[in-house]
């Protein structure tokens, strides 16, 4: 029995990413679809940022918990790998949140247009383009570690996919 007036999509959309807790799964573009069938079963579809993402089990569990806590009794979360997740799926709000959190967001890629050439990653703290990658792997596998030559601050940058 549903005990809330909040839609299941809104409930699922508020779940945060365990590796990037400043973002919701909706901001990140991991939340693909939420549907309710005639029997009241809520089916949530998610796509991992990459096929081996260790956070997906936690995301699945957090979505189920949030929906159960909101009164949705029968919840199914399924993972789909196609189409593959792209950093283009990160919302404008998500990109803003990443930058405010000190993580350089990837630049969006324009579908059907020229492929943008990124000559560097801007520092999310001071905005300088004078940065250097120090490790292809940051605090999680989907991020790389950089240091800003202008302000000397290290920072993560989400890898563009």
Residues 68 and 128 in one domain: no
What percentage of the chain exceeds 90 in pLDDT?
71
Is 97 inside a domain boundary?
no
Q: What is the pLDDT of residues 37-84, one digit of tens each?
A: 999 999 999 999 988 888 999 999 999 999 999 999 999 999 999 999
Please state, in angstroms and rounded to a whole number, the distance separating the CA atoms of residues 54 and 48.
9
Domain, as residue range, for 142 = 102-109+118-158
Label residue 119 by pLDDT band (50, 70, 90). Answer: low
Q: What is the mean pLDDT of the chain?
A: 90
Is 92 inside a domain boundary?
no
Tell me how long the chain is. 161
State which of 79, 94, 127 marks the end of a domain.
79
pLDDT value of residue 118: 59
What is the spatial order of strands in the sheet that 131-135 belongs to? 103-104, 154-158, 143-148, 131-135
Residues 72 and 16 in one domain: yes
- CATH number for 25: 3.30.300.130
Please state, in angstroms and rounded to a whole number, the distance separating the CA atoms of residues 48 and 82.
10
Cα–Cα distance list, 22 to 26, 38, 50, 146, 158 (Å): 12, 35, 19, 19, 13
pLDDT value of residue 106: 84
Say how many domains are in the chain.
2
Q: Which residue has the tokens 């993972």?
A: 79
**Interstrand relation of 75-79 and 42-46 (parallel, antiparallel or unpaired):** parallel
Is 40 inside a domain boundary?
yes
Label residue 110 by pLDDT band (50, 70, 90). Answer: low
Q: Which has more confidence, 116 or 138?
A: 138
Tell which residue, 23, 79, 81, 27, has the closest CA to residue 50: 81
Cβ atoms within 10 Å of 22's Cβ, excluding its own: 15
């Amino acid at each position: 029995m549903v005990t809330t007036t909040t839609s299941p999509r809104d409930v699922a959309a508020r779940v945060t990413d365990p590796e990037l807790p400043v973002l919701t799964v909706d901001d990140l573009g991991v939340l693909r679809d939420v549907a309710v069938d005639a029997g009241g079963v809520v089916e949530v579809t998610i796509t991992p940022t990459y096929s081996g993402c260790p956070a997906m089990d936690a995301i699945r569990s957090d979505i189920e918990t949030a929906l159960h806590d909101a009164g949705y009794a029968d919840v199914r979360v399924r993972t789909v790998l196609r189409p593959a997740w792209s950093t283009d799926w990160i919302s404008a709000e998500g990109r803003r949140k990443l930058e405010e959190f000190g993580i350089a967001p990837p630049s969006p890629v324009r579908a059907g247009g020229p492929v943008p050439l990124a000559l560097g990653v801007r520092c999310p703290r001071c905005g300088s383009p004078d940065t250097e990658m120090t490790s292809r792997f940051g605090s999680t596998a989907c991020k790389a570690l950089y240091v800003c030559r202008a302000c000397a601050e290290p920072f993560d940058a989400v890898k563009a996919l």
